[in-house]
């Protein structure tokens, strides 16, 4: 019994030797195919792994920086608006269960001449030293009271380097249209690398930045033994909607929600190359199995079992995945390090400002991408391995049985099932605010489309063969059509590389073009003025007072000056704050100012005591706002009634935005400032003349100017930088597709040496054989491009109308970049024909008699 249960050691050693011999022989005879499959797997793993490492490092560093700003606080009480009345501070400090309360004024201060803002924290040093001891300024021994001085500011090392201001130097900051000078009194006890922050006395910050009696938050430290969650619920119930009780982890949740869609989309796009690699592994293994069909049959005859044969083929595929994955992990780590060093941490997304992350080894991510690379390789080998193991040796030994091995691929029902499931998934909502089902629908649609190719190939080329048979045609075209019509399985494998790569190229190109054109049209509609003036190119402390607004509007040459006030509003502590935009809107025709997505509510439907607001598409998805809905918002000192009068398109703020009339905002808040101005110029006056007049104003040096064309060009440049990785992936898909076509055609052509030898015997010349191969390659590629375009267009519909709205909460119109797709199609067509001819030269160079003798 033991002898039967335990194989002899010699048999095991012999099996291993046979496996190594078969693998070595295959790789020596066709090294190019293995190299292409390994390279594609490596590239897919590298891109996905690099994106994951970059975003993970940036998110972890950003979260650590956010935690450092909270210190040891258990809870934070924030206002629904950026600041709230400081009289809440003593009330919170006396709340039962609160051991310590520390007020904070948190400002993003405008820095003249810089594109980024400086975070300034106004603190009560005596309170903050007990809650956040690391965020305390370190004054010099000669001036110990600088912590309370109105002109002193303490900078982190990164801020000192950025502003080129060592202790003792002076820095300029903006308050309104005025420039304030501060003396750098020293550094901060401890901050994160790259964290640009400044610390000053809260009373001084309130006075210098004209925010008397205002605070941004109150940090609370609870008494020992106090249940944080129950205390938080009770306190929030008493405070109502004017104030929001949050925890430190809520900052991380907000950042995670803000960047989640971007991170997941980048990872999914990076895995496109990995999917292409999986198909190349399938193509490589399928062709190898078909070509070695008689060899496997002979092994079965001499005693190799089906299980051994199955393991052998799966091991060959897994080895491709192991090598490709290991190389990909190394390449991905190197790419992430280079990207963080030279290009920053956000890959164009802009979600992690002010951090300097460093790549570190992540065991979980490494294991996942290693498993993905190996997994797709094994899956790509599974179907060919099962067919080889199930084949009957007697039938497999006969010549010409290769097409029968691929007959099962022509079954359409699994493909139709994948497509049907994909259509159902597109109708389902996202999971956890992520379009997981949409991406799954894309994968199933692509798999289903590729799986339909054998049946599609047979139908198309059979019809063409019959049509050409009725006409007098040259022999090369007739033979090429006959071959494609009678061997659809092998033809489909050759076409699959073209199909998958071109379909993904089409889908991504249409998605990016649709987004870019939609953004361009949105900007054209939005930028209707002749000149745009800003006080705060960065930060939130710059604004125009009413007298300054009047002086600006009176500058000669200005026809109208439409003012805007930008602020923020927190509706949910677990979500990022939404933008609150107050501007001059015609309530009867909001579409003149905003790009509306549907009907608007007539002013006759607005009840007395209600204020009309217009919400972005993100507000519909995230907060459930609908046309005509009545809501209560904390705009100003008290809650007020609002009604949703319309939904508008916003490609800037995926977290949501609300617009209301400037007069309504000023009535509710008492805030008469303005941050932006849209200037219309009188006929006959040039923009430069108006700009010169504006610069002569007393506050002219504080103004920033931009014309519509400049804003549009800058926005589209940022767009292209944000989608740089997408463009890279399109290039990867093109290169992978061309390599796949080259490897597949080369393998098929070399495998048909006996066929070409027979043709030579019956009088077909070498030139005619090459013409047959060129015709086959051209027709196969043309069909692959045609079907790939249809499949890519269908995938782009999912990306444009399902994935993007669920990810970023905005809609777009459909646009197809015909010139780009036509160029790529032409390149792939020429490359396929050339590859077929080059590979054919080697095949027909064999002696015709020897090639025919091989058909035993």
Q: How much is the pLDDT for 404?
A: 52
* Range 15-41 average pLDDT: 69
Q: Which residue has the higher pLDDT, 640 or 272?
A: 640
Q: How much is the pLDDT for 644?
A: 95
Q: How much is the pLDDT for 1?
A: 43
Q: How much is the pLDDT for 67?
A: 66
Give 639: exposed, middle or buried? Use CB within 10 Å, 0-12, 13-18, 19+: middle
pLDDT band at 514 (very low <50, low <70, confident <90, very high): very high
Do 740 and 36 form a contact (C-beta atoms < 8 A)?
yes
What share of the chain in percent tops pLDDT 90?
29
The region of weakest confidence among 2-6, 169-173, 760-764, 795-799 is 2-6
Task: State yes or no: pLDDT of 856 exceeds 50.
Answer: no
Task: Using the Cα atoms of residue 741, residue 743, residue 748 and residue 750 in order, give the sign of their dihedral.
Answer: positive
Most distant CA atoms of the chain, gap in Å: 106
pLDDT band at 261 (very low <50, low <70, confident <90, very high): low
Q: How much is the pLDDT for 839?
A: 67
Task: State yes or no: pLDDT of 615 exceeds 70.
Answer: yes
**Residue 399 CA: distances (Å) to CA of 30, 384, 410:** 21, 18, 21
Task: State yes or no: pLDDT of 6 exceeds 80.
Answer: no
Separation of alpha carbons 415 and 409, rounded Å: 10
Task: State yes or no: pLDDT of 262 exceeds 80.
Answer: no
Task: State yes or no: pLDDT of 752 exceeds 70.
Answer: no
Q: How much is the pLDDT for 278?
A: 66
- What are 345-356's pLDDT values in tens digits? 555 555 555 556
Separation of alpha carbons 557 and 440, rounded Å: 57
Crossing angle, helix 766-798 and helix 475-486, to 10 degrees?
A: 50
Separation of alpha carbons 623 and 498, rounded Å: 43
The region of weakest confidence among 66-70, 200-204, 317-321, 575-579 is 66-70
Q: Which residue has the higher pLDDT, 836 or 816?
A: 816
pLDDT band at 395 (very low <50, low <70, confident <90, very high): low
* Range 516-544 average pLDDT: 86
Average confidence score pLDDT of the chain:
81
Per residue, the 3-state secondary structure of 753-815, as one string, reads HHHHHHHHHCCCCHHHHHHHHHHHHHHHHHHHHHHHHHHHHHHHHHHHHHHHHHHHCCCCCCC
How far is residue 57 CA from its own chain's centroid? 16
Q: How much is the pLDDT for 3?
A: 45
Q: How much is the pLDDT for 105?
A: 94
Q: How much is the pLDDT for 855?
A: 47
Separation of alpha carbons 134 and 148, rounded Å: 17
Do 740 and 832 form a contact (C-beta atoms < 8 A)?
no
Separation of alpha carbons 395 and 7, rounded Å: 30
- What are 265-320's pLDDT values in tens digits? 666 766 666 666 666 667 666 666 666 666 777 777 777 777 877 787 788 878 88
3-state helix, strand, coil in the chain (%, to 5): 60, 15, 25
Q: How much is the pLDDT for 25?
A: 63
Task: State yes or no: pLDDT of 732 exceeds 80.
Answer: no
Q: How much is the pLDDT for 435?
A: 86
Q: How much is the pLDDT for 834?
A: 80
- What are 495-512's pLDDT values in tens digits? 666 777 788 888 888 988
- What are 659-698's pLDDT values in tens digits? 999 999 999 998 999 999 999 999 989 999 999 999 999 9
In degrees, to the nearest 5, what angle opens at C-alpha 146 toward C-alphas 142 and 151? 125
Task: State yes or no: pLDDT of 407 exceeds 60.
Answer: no
Task: State yes or no: pLDDT of 579 exceeds 50.
Answer: yes
The region of weakest confidence among 183-192, 500-509, 753-762 is 753-762
Q: How much is the pLDDT for 281?
A: 67
pLDDT band at 397 (very low <50, low <70, confident <90, very high): low
Q: How much is the pLDDT for 9?
A: 54
Q: How much is the pLDDT for 365?
A: 83
Of the spans 346-355, 743-752, 784-793, which averages the highest pLDDT?
A: 784-793
Q: How much is the pLDDT for 208?
A: 92
The region of weakest confidence among 155-169, 385-399, 443-457, 527-541 is 385-399
Q: Which secondary structure element, helix H or strand E, spans residue 525, and what is its range?
A: helix 488-526
What share of the chain in percent tops pLDDT 70?
76
Rg from Cα positions in the chain: 34
Task: State yes or no: pLDDT of 768 exceeds 60.
Answer: yes
Count of Cβ atoms closer than 10 Å to residue 652 Cβ: 12
pLDDT band at 753 (very low <50, low <70, confident <90, very high): low
């Amino acid at each position: 019994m033991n002898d039967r249960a335990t194989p002899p050691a010699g048999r095991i050693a012999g099996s291993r030797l046979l496996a190594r011999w078969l693998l070595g022989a295959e790789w020596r005879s066709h090294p190019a195919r293995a190299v292409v499959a390994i390279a594609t797997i490596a590239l897919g793993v590298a891109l996905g792994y690099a994106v994951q490492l970059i975003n993970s490092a940036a998110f972890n560093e950003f979260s650590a920086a956010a935690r450092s700003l909270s210190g040891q606080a258990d809870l934070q009480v924030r206002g629904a608006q950026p600041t709230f009345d400081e009289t809440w501070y003593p009330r919170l400090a006396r709340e039962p269960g609160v051991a310590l309360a520390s007020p904070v004024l948190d400002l993003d201060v405008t820095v003249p001449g810089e594109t980024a803002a400086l975070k300034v924290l106004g603190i009560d040093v005596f309170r903050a030293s007990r809650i956040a001891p690391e965020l305390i300024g370190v004054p010099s021994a000669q001036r110990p009271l600088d912590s309370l001085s109105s002109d002193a500011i303490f900078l982190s090392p990164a801020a000192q380097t950025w502003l080129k201001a060592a202790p003792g130097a002076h820095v300029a900051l903006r308050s309104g249209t005025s420039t304030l000078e501060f003396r750098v009194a020293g550094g901060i006890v401890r901050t994160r690398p790259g964290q640009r922050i400044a610390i000053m006395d809260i009373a001084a910050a309130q006075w210098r930045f004209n925010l008397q009696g205002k605070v941004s938050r109150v940090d609370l430290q609870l008494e020992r033994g106090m249940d944080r969650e129950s205390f938080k619920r009770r306190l929030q119930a008493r405070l109502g909607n004017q104030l929001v009780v949050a925890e430190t982890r809520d900052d991380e949740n907000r950042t995670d929600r803000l960047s989640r869609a971007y991170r997941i989309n980048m990872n999914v796009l990076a895995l496109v190359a990995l999917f292409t690699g999986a198909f190349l592994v399938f193509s490589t293994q399928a062709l190898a199995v078909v070509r070695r069909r008689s060899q496997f049959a002979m092994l079965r005859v001499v005693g190799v079992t089906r299980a051994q044969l199955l393991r052998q083929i799966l091991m060959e595929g897994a080895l491709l995945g192991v090598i490709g994955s290991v190389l990909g992990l190394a390449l991905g780590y190197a790419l992430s390090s280079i990207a963080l060093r030279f290009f920053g941490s956000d890959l164009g997304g802009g979600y992690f400002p002010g951090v300097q992350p460093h790549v570190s080894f992540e065991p979980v991510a490494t294991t996942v991408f290693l498993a993905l690379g190996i997994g797709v390789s094994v899956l790509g080998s599974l179907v060919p391995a099962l067919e080889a193991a199930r084949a009957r040796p007697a039938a497999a030994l006969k010549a010409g049985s290769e097409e029968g091995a691929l007959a099962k691929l022509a079954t359409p029902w699994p493909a139709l099932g994948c497509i049907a499931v994909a259509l159902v998934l597109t109708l389902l909502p996202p999971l956890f605010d992520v379009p997981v089902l949409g991406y799954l629908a894309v994968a199933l649609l692509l798999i289903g489309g590729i799986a339909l190719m054998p049946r599609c190939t047979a139908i198309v080329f059979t019809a063409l063969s019959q049509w050409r048979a009725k006409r007098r045609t040259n022999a090369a075209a007739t033979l090429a059509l006959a071959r494609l019509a009678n061997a659809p399985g092998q033809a489909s494998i050759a076409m699959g590389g073209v199909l998958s790569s071109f379909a993904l190229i089409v889908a991504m190109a249409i998605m990016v073009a649709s987004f870019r054109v939609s953004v361009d049209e949105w900007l054209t509609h939005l930028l209707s003025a002749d000149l745009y003036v800003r006080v705060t190119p960065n930060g939130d402390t710059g604004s125009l007072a009413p007298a300054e607004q009047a002086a600006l509007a009176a500058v000669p040459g200005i026809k109208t000056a439409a003012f805007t006030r930008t602020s923020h509003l927190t509706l949910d502590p677990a979500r990022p704050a939404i933008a609150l935009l107050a501007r001059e809107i015609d309530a009867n025709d909001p579409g003149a100012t905003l790009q509306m997505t549907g009907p608007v509510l007539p002013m006759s439907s607005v009840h007395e005591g209600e204020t009309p607001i217009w919400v972005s598409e993100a507000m519909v998805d995230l907060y459930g706002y609908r046309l005509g809905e009545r809501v209560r918002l904390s705009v100003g000192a008290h809650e007020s009634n609002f009604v949703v009068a319309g939904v508008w398109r916003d490609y800037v703020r995926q977290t949501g935005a609300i617009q209301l009339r400037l007069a309504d905002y000023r009535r509710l808040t008492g805030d008469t400032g303005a941050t932006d101005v849209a200037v219309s110029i009188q006929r006959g006056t040039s923009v430069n003349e108006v700009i010169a007049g504006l610069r002569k104003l007393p506050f002219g040096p504080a103004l920033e100017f931009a014309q519509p064309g400049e804003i549009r060009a800058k926005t589209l440049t940022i767009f292209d930088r944000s989608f740089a990785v997408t463009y890279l992936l399109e290039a990867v898909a093109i290169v992978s597709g061309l390599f796949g076509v080259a490897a597949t055609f080369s393998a098929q052509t070399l495998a048909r040496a006996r066929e070409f030898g027979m043709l030579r015997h019956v009088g077909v010349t070498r030139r005619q054989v090459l013409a047959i191969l060129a015709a086959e390659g051209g027709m196969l590629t043309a069909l692959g491009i045609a079907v790939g375009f249809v499949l890519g267009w269908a995938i782009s519909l999912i990306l444009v109308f399902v994935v993007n709205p669920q990810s970023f909460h905005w809609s777009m119109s459909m646009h197809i970049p015909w010139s780009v797709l036509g160029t790529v199609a032409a390149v792939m067509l020429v490359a396929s024909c050339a590859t077929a001819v080059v590979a054919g030269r080697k095949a027909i160079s064999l002696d015709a008699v020897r090639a025919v003798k091989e058909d035993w």
